[in-house]
Amino acid sequence: MAAKTKPIPNQVFVGLPWKNVKQKYENAINWLSIRSPLFFSIVGRDASQDAQDLLAVIKIKIDTSSYAIFDATDGNANVSLEYGYAEAREIKRALYLSGHKANQKLKEQPIISDLAGKTRQQYKNEKTLKQLLDSFSDNHPYTKRFEKFLNQEFRRKSKGDKKRARALALKIIHSCDGEQQVRREDLVQELLADQNEYDRTESDNMIKKLHKAGLIYCQKGRYSTIEIA
């Protein structure tokens, strides 16, 4: 077995059946992106990608994730395979199941019979899925570090300043979504063009604070890069 890859602390792999489920997750993840510092990674398949290439990408994403969520709705074969890989790699994981399928016994779905004894959490619709993922985020170690940082750094600021600081910190963290690292100057330029009109000083100060808090790592120098820490 290959050597285990260093995980990205805020990355969460999401394995799911695309039919009837994928859109719910995408909507929930988009909703969470302005509230949570976590990056929920759903691996897609492009037209030119064969199954072997896709599996290789999925393995890398699982290996570089701090946690993995698998949706067992409809007894999808790929989800069962991905779950087994994450289990073998000792990645922390959770199993979700859509409520409208919950009354069906997993043993009647042989493709995921190996998951029948696993603890799973159920959701009924997109709203309850959002609640489930929101609760997951609240209890994730990276979110706890992020919230502690905000509370300590901005506890004496006004409500408006706290809201602005939170939004900026999330933008900086999410700039690394799906990337091992990003160029600091590219990120600052994006923030300068943001509708919230962040200036260079404000952006640089937040990057320094996040680095000092251990939430990101920023190299020194003119061509420095930023990555999740």
Question: What CATH architecture is 8-138?
Answer: 3-Layer(aba) Sandwich (3.40)
Where along the chain do its domains lie? 8-138, 142-228
Q: What is the pTM of this model?
A: 0.90
- Which residue from 87, 130, 95 is spatially nearest to 16, judged by alpha carbons? 95
Is residue 6 scored above 50 in pLDDT?
yes
Q: Please report which confidence band the pLDDT of residue 116 belongs to, taking 50, 70 and 90 as the band edges.
A: low
Helix H or strand E segment including 227: strand 225-228
Give residue 52's pLDDT.
74
Give residue 107's pLDDT.
43
Angle between helices 184-192 and 200-212 (to 10 degrees): 130
Output the CATH code of domain 142-228: 1.10.10
